[in-house]
Every structure is written in structure tokens, then in C-alpha cells.
Amino acid sequence: MKFICDDNLGKLASYLRILGFDTSFDEDIDDNSLLKTASFEKRTLLTRDRKLASRTHPYGFLLIEDDDPLRQLNIVATELDLKVDPRNLFNRCSKCNEICHTVDKDAITEEVFPFILKTQDTIKQCPSCKRYYWKGSHYKNILKKLIAAVPKKALTGTWPEF
């Protein structure tokens, strides 16, 4: 399932990307462009805007009334019967939605702190924005939040250990 989030759901978009879902988000997009993109790319629209939700969209929408991004994630998973595959965790860039690729640590010695290179087995990079990702303390913190937010019935495997 592919999503597009309105400008009020940036953190939810990030969580969905971390879970592996193709999720478009642009906080500067106007409603007409948002609907056009959603339709053209066959994305389910996630919105907090009642007026936007009342407009016709062929690939469906979900009006989200909760303010908390983790509760929003729970609502999306529950209402849309999402299937979360833990093997897809942390494969997408949380900022720009691209699939990240494992990089050769020897090739990035000038770009990443030596401690990170020494302590991490795998480092991934987004091909678009060039951000690096690794399983540091932020990984554990985000994983704990996701485990608490994602309904057990949505999980198709087991969460990784941390």
C-alpha cells in the first residue's frame, strides 16, 4: 500500500517510511496538487483536513483526527488493516522516501565519525539526500515506539531484537 500525507502529518509519514511503506509527503503542496499526485501515483490519502477528506479521491483516504503521531500510526494500521513486515524496517529514507542502500564503510571514512565506522556492522545511505543510517541509540528508541504503536495483528513476522 502506498500513501500520501497532507502537510499536517509529517511525523506519521516518517514512521510509515521507517516501517517500509512508500509514503509521499511535501509540506508545501496545495490541496489540488496533493489530490492530483495521490490519484496519479495511486496513493491512499492520509489527512487531518476534513474539507480535503470530503473531496473525491479514487484510491481512498483516511481522516485522522488524533494529534499524536504514534496514535495516528496505530489508527492507520488498524483502519487500513496494514500488514507490517519487520524485514522492511529502516529500508527507506525517513526524510525523502527513497530506498537506502548499504555502503562500503571504507568509502565513507571522511563522511562518518570513526566511532560509528568502528561500532556499526551496517551503514546505509539514501541515494537521493545522501543521509546515512545505522543502528545507534536512535534505532532502539524508534523501534520501542513502533512496537508499542503497531497493533500485534498487523505484524507479519517478529520484531528485531535490540
Mean pLDDT of 59-64: 92
d(CA 127, CA 125): 6
Q: List 99's β-bridge partners, or say none.
A: 92
Radius of gyration of the chain (CA): 17
Domain coordinates in residue numbering, the chain: 3-86, 94-134
**Cα–Cα distance measured from residue 117 to residue 48, given in angstroms and rounded to the nearest whole number:** 41
Residue 59 has pLDDT above 90, yes or no: no
- The Cα–Cα gap between 142 and 145 comes to 5
Contact partners, residue 155, CB within 8 Å, separation at least 6:
84, 86
Q: Assess whether pLDDT exceeds 80 at residue 57.
A: no
Kindly report which listed range (49-53, 71-75, 78-82) carries the lowest average pLDDT score: 49-53
User: Looking at the DSSP assignment, which residues form a beta bridge with residue 102?
Assistant: 124
- Residues near 53 by beta carbon (within 8 Å), at least 6 away in sequence: 45, 47, 61, 63
Residue-level pLDDT at 103: 96
Q: In this predicted model, what pLDDT tens digit does every residue of 104-149 receive, in sequence order?
A: 999 999 999 999 999 999 999 999 999 999 998 899 999 999 999 9
3-state secondary structure 120-145: CCCCEECCCCCCEECCCHHHHHHHHH
| Section 18-39 average pLDDT | 95
The beta strand positions in the chain, using DSSP E, are 3-5, 23-25, 44-47, 61-63, 101-102, 124-125, 132-133
